[in-house]
Amino acid sequence: MKTFRLSLSPAEKELLKKNKLPVSRLCEFAADEIMVLLKISQQRAEYIAASVTFQSIPSIGPKFADDLISLGYYSLDSLLEKDGPTLFNELEQKQGFWTDPCVEDQFWLAVYYANDPISKKNWWDFTAERKAYRAKYGYPSTRPQMAWHELA
């Protein structure tokens, strides 16, 4: 069973312990159940449920789960009609800087996994596709000018 990395409050951790539930079992619960279980707001419960869902994708961690949530995605179904390059472009626009190209590979994987949830592919399995796509289509003219590694 996959271990999820979540920033839980001491109270949330205590309620999990009291209910004899390891963090790894949170994937078994819907957001409304998490809300009741942890005595938290609907918004907080939706965040936790989304983070667990996205971390369930092979090779995806909490930082990328947060990237998806920051763009307003909270379920695999919300990614079904999306594509990796568009999501990556959205993230760069939101952040205001270039992001490491491997993040785009993760977007490709997330969309692929949303459409094929039994897939065992990892983000690096999409590197060649991403490179071929960017060689053919490039980046949008509105791409931020500064790269992530140039930030102070």
Tally of CB atoms within 10 A around 124: 12
Distance CA 50, CA 47 (A): 5
- The three-state secondary structure class of 73 is coil
Q: Structural domain boundaries of the chain?
A: 9-56, 66-152
- The three-state secondary structure class of 106 is helix
Please compute Rg for the chain using Cα positions. Answer: 17
pLDDT at residue 141, rounded to an integer: 95
Q: What is the pLDDT of residues 110-129, one digit of tens each?
A: 999 999 999 999 999 999 99
Residues of the chain with pLDDT under 50: none
Which of 30, 54, 53, 51 shows the shortest CA–CA distance to 42?
A: 30
